[in-house]
Amino acid sequence: MMNVTETPPSASSLPAGRGESVMSLVAPPHFHHGLLVSMIAGVVPLGGIGPTLPFESRPLTPRGTMSDVLSLLINELHDGRVRIVDLTQPLGPETPVIGLPPQFASSPGVTMKVISEFDDGGPTWYWNELRFGEHTGTHFDAPGHWITGRDLPDNTTDTIGPDRFIGPACVIDVTARVAANEDYLLSPTELAGWESEHGKIAVGSWVLLHTGWSTRAGAEAFLNVREDGPHSPGFHPDTVKVLAHERDVLGVGVETVGTDAGQAGGFDPPFPTHTTMHGAGKLGLASLCNLDQLPAIGAIVIAAPLKLVRGSGSPLRVLALVS
């Protein structure tokens, strides 16, 4: 049993001098990605700021524990002025998996096998064993996934800096175009049109292609494979060059099974989104949903993959903060 005298003191119970040094460690005066991630991950409890009171009458978070911007964020989350939108599809045996031509190795779908469920194997606990490919369901593509990114530093899920898992989102709505053409590709001209309306895409942004594809029910409609291969929308090869090299984005996100269009195996270069983005050290997000709930600009996306050692990607929970 832990001796109570060994319990670490909370920041508020520290002597003033020591409290100040804690504040300087944990609460820099500027926006800090790592802290925000910790907060969203629950290291800083969302419900830990006191009873539900009107915003004006609730005491502010004690000084010395949290910067003003983080205190404000907690209050805004608590009061619903900042909402969390879940951009993640359910992950399970029904999750569609990308198909490859037969000469290539295929990725398995999801299997979940019960280890124990309140039975002889574990009378009071329930847990499962999982099997799936790294690129299954709503998932993250690391630069090391592609041959163009394989020699880059910090190119796998365990070595990419966590500051790169969060960024502002630019959401490009092409649902009307995709409804008329399932092989629709976002052109550089249309990207420029979006920027003339919403402003230039900022360095370090997630660029999310809102196609409406996530509303397709069932694997057959979602993968949309015909005799000549899969048909689904994506980016024109020249557009990803602009995003990677001229806008220096964090990465791109799509609603489809992969970041390239269905027919992209026949493009020049083949799979240009993977080839160009990962060659430039950029990230990818596939099988997103609920992009219709995001504004064109103004949301923050948090997309942190599992810290798989030498992982080329991983399923993940993708969250957006929207005010």
Catalytically annotated residue among 135, 145, 236, 274: 145
**Quick one: 171 or 252, whose CB is closer to Mn ion?**
252
Q: Is 144 strand, coil or helix?
A: helix
Q: Judged by CB under 5 A, how many residues of this single chain contact Mn ion? A: 2
Q: Does 278 bind Mn ion (CB under 5 A)?
A: no
Residue type (1 letter), 45:
P
**Quick one: 167 or 313, whose CB is closer to Mn ion?**
313
Of 135, 216, 236, 282, the one binding Mn ion (CB under 5 A) is 135
Q: Does 255 bind Mn ion (CB under 5 A)?
A: no
The one segment of 25-33, 46-54, 133-141, 191-199 that binds Mn ion by CB under 5 A = 133-141
Whole-number Å distance between alpha carbons of 46 and 16: 25
> In which element (H, E) is residue 221 found?
helix 219-223
Whole-number Å distance between alpha carbons of 278 and 148: 6
Active site residue 210: no
Say whether the peptide bond before residue 269 is cis (omega within 30 degrees of 0).
yes
Task: State in angstroms the smallest separation of the CB of 145 from Mn ion.
Answer: 6
CB 235 within 8 Å of CB 261: yes
The one segment of 136-144, 176-184, 199-207, 212-220 that binds Mn ion by CB under 5 A = 136-144
Of 23, 44, 66, 141, the one binding Mn ion (CB under 5 A) is 141
CB 238 within 8 Å of CB 187: yes
Task: State in angstroms the smallest separation of the CB of 305 from Mn ion.
Answer: 11
Q: Does 134 bind Mn ion (CB under 5 A)?
A: no
Nearest to 79 by CA among 118, 49, 99, 104: 49
Whole-number Å distance between alpha carbons of 159 and 131: 23
Interface with Mn ion (CB under 5 A): 135, 141
Active site residues: 145
